[in-house]
Chains A and B, each alone.
Chain A
Amino acid sequence: MDMAVTRVAVRMKIQMQLKKQPMKGFQSTYMELRWIRRRSTKTSQIDRKLLTPAMRPPFPIYFSTDPKHADLDRLQQLYADCNHSCYRFPNYVGSHGRVESVDIHKLRVALSHSAVLVSVFCKPHHIVDDDGEGHFTSSADSSKTIMGVTDFLQSVTPVSPYDGHLVGFGRAISDCGLTASIYDVMVIPSLRRLGIGRMIVKKIVRMLTNRDIYDIAALCTENERLFLKACGFGGDILGSTTMMYTRSTSSMIREGESDVRRIGQKLLLVPPLKGPFKSSRTIM
C-alpha cells in the first residue's frame, strides 16, 4: 500500500510539472499573412506580350492556426472541391471519380481532437478560374479594365478569415508528447503548385517541433510522395513498414457471428471478443 501511495504521489508530481511546462503551445493561435507570386503557367507565356510580370502582382493569403477559423461548412466544401476523402479507401460516386462528401459531424469530432489545424484564406477575386484555355479572369482582367468601386474596396481591404475564401487546410493528430501524424493536407486545384501546400506542412511541423515532438509521420499515396519529399519527409530511417488494417473476411467466421464495419469502400472485420483462456505455455 505504501508503494502505491508513493507511486501516486510521484505521478502527481510529474503531472504538475507538465502543467508548468509550456504545453500551452497547442493553445496558442497563430495568424500570418503571406504573399504569393503567381507562377507563370504555359498559357501565360503565350500572352506574355499582354501580361508583363508587373501586371501580375503577388497576392496575399492568410494562414491561421486558430481552430475557430475552421468553419465546418466551408471546410466540407473544400474537401469536396479538392475531391479529398477522409477514408483511405473511399466510396466513389458518379463516373468522374468523385468521392462521397465528408460527414460533417464526424468532421467536427475529428477537428476537435486534432492537435494542430492550419487554414488558409484568400480573397475571392484572386482565385483564378483557369479552365485550361488560357482565359484569365479576375486578377488579370481587373488590372486591365477599369475597376468598379466594389472591386476596388475588395482589393484594398485586407484578407481575413471572415471574408476570405477557404483555399487550403491541413491538420495533425498528436499525443502531445512523443508522436504526431499529419492528415488531410489540401489546396484547391486552381491554387496548386504555388507553394501553399508546402507552407501548410511546414507550419504544422513547426508547431509540433516547438513542442518538442519530432516523431512526425504522414501517410501518402504514390502521387503525393514527391510533395512530401519536398516538404522534408522521407522514408523511416529505422526501416519500418507502414501497415493498415484491411481484414475484411475470415475463413473462420461462422454465419451470424461476424461483426463488420463499413469504412468507405471496405467492410472491415471487427475482431471477436474472446473470453479468458488458459495459456499454452508455462510462465517462467
Chain B
Amino acid sequence: MLTLNAARHTSLLVVPFDGSYPVSGQFLVPANLNCWFTRARRKFRTFQLKTGFWESIKTGYYREFTTSGRKRLLKNSTTQVIDSPSIDEDDDSLPQEFVLVENTELDGTIEQIIFSSGGDIDVYDLQALCDKVGWPRRPLSKLAAALKNSYMVASLHSIRKSPGSGSEENEKKKLIGMARATSDHAFNATIWDVLVDPSYQGQGLGKALVEKLIRALLQRDIGNITLFADSQVVEFYRNLGFEPDPEGIKGMFWYPKY
C-alpha cells in the first residue's frame, strides 16, 4: 500500500492524464509544478486535527481516491500506469500508523511507541530531537520544506498513558525517532536523517525505521537505495543489508570554490 506521501504524488499523476494523448512530444506535470501542487495539498492537511478519528478518515479517503483513480486510468489510457503492481499489495500493505512497541510500567503507565509514515512531524519537535542527538542546527524553514518534499518520512512517537484516567486526557506524545528518504519515485532513492532519541536507542527502533523505509521503497520497485553513513554507524547499516562502496561506486559531494 502506498504511504501517504506516495499516495499524494500518485494522485497528482492521476490529475493531468488524458485518455488518449500521444506518447512522444508531450510531457506531464513538470517537477516544478509537482512541488507546487504538493504544497497546495499540504495546506489542506494542516487543517485537520491530529486525533485517531481523523487519521482513520484520512486514510480511508486517500485509499479510496487513489484506487478509484488508478482503476479509471487503466480503463481509459492505452499506456500502462506506473503503479499498477501496487494494487495487489493493499492487503499486505504498510498501514499509515501502527503500534510498534507497547510497554506497561510498574506503576501501570502504558507506553506505546507509534510508528507513522504520514510525515506529520512538527519541525520544532524535530529540532529538539536533533539537538538531543547532537546534530548541528539547520534553518527551520528548510527543514519543513525538506520534510514536505521527501518521498517518505517515517517517524516514531511515544505516547504515555497514565492508568485509570480517560484515554485522551493524560496523554503525552513525544517524537522519539525519524527517518526520511528522497526519491524520484522510479529508480533512485537516498535515505537521509535517521535519528532516534538517545534514551530510546538500542532497542531496534532505528532498525525498524530503516527497514520500513526500504520496504516501502522496494514495494514501488525503487531499487537504488543509497545513504551516506558516518563512520560509527557503518556497522549498523551493514547489518541492515547495506554494502559500503559496492563495485567501486562512491558518492561525492560538491565543494564551493570561492
Taking CB atoms, residues of chain A closer than 8 Å to B98 are 276
Query: Do B140 and A14 touch across chains, with their CB atoms under 8 A apart?
Result: yes
Q: With a 10 A CB-CB cut-off, give which of B142, B150, B225, B251 has the most chain A CB atoms.
A: B251
Contact A244-B246, Cβ < 8 Å, known A26-B35, A284-B199: yes
Contact A217-B252, Cβ < 8 Å, known A19-B39, A175-B182, A273-B92: yes
Query: Do A106 and B187 touch across chains, with their CB atoms under 8 A apart?
Result: yes
Cβ distance B80 to chain A, nearest Cβ, rounded Å: 6
Assembled-state Cα–Cα distance A113/B23 (Å): 18
Cβ distance A139 to chain B, nearest Cβ, rounded Å: 28
Chain A 90-132 interface residues, beta-carbon cutoff 8 Å to B: 104-117
Assembled-state Cα–Cα distance A283/B203 (Å): 10
Cβ distance A2 to chain B, nearest Cβ, rounded Å: 12
Assembled-state Cα–Cα distance A271/B217 (Å): 11
Chain A 62-90 interface residues, beta-carbon cutoff 8 Å to B: 66-68, 70-73, 86-89
Contact A263-B185, Cβ < 8 Å, known A67-B27, A220-B249: no
How many residues in B have their beta carbons less than 8 Å from beta carbons of A? 106
Which of A51-59, A150-158, A191-199, A221-229 binds B?
A221-229
Assembled-state Cα–Cα distance A229/B122 (Å): 38
Query: Do B184 and A237 touch across chains, with their CB atoms under 8 A apart?
Result: no
- Chain A proximity mask over B222-249: 1 for CB below 8 Å, otherwise 0: 0111111111001001101111111111
Partner of A15, one of B34, B43, B122, B158: B43
Assembled-state Cα–Cα distance A108/B192 (Å): 25
- Chain A proximity mask over B164-177: 1 for CB below 8 Å, otherwise 0: 00000000000000
Taking CB atoms, residues of chain B closer than 8 Å to A117 are 31
Chain B 94-152 interface residues, beta-carbon cutoff 8 Å to A: 94, 98-103, 105, 111, 113, 122-124, 138, 140-150
**Residues of B that sit less than 8 Å from A by CB:** 9, 13, 23-25, 27-36, 39, 42-43, 46-47, 49-50, 79-82, 92, 94, 98-103, 105, 111, 113, 122-124, 138, 140-150, 158, 180, 182-188, 190, 192, 199-200, 202-204, 208, 211-212, 214-215, 218-219, 221, 223-231, 234, 237-238, 240-257
Would you give 18 A-B contacts (Cβ < 8 Å), ordered by A? Answer: A7-B122, A8-B46, A15-B42, A23-B39, A67-B31, A86-B187, A87-B224, A107-B186, A179-B190, A181-B188, A214-B256, A238-B230, A240-B230, A243-B242, A244-B242, A268-B218, A271-B240, A279-B204
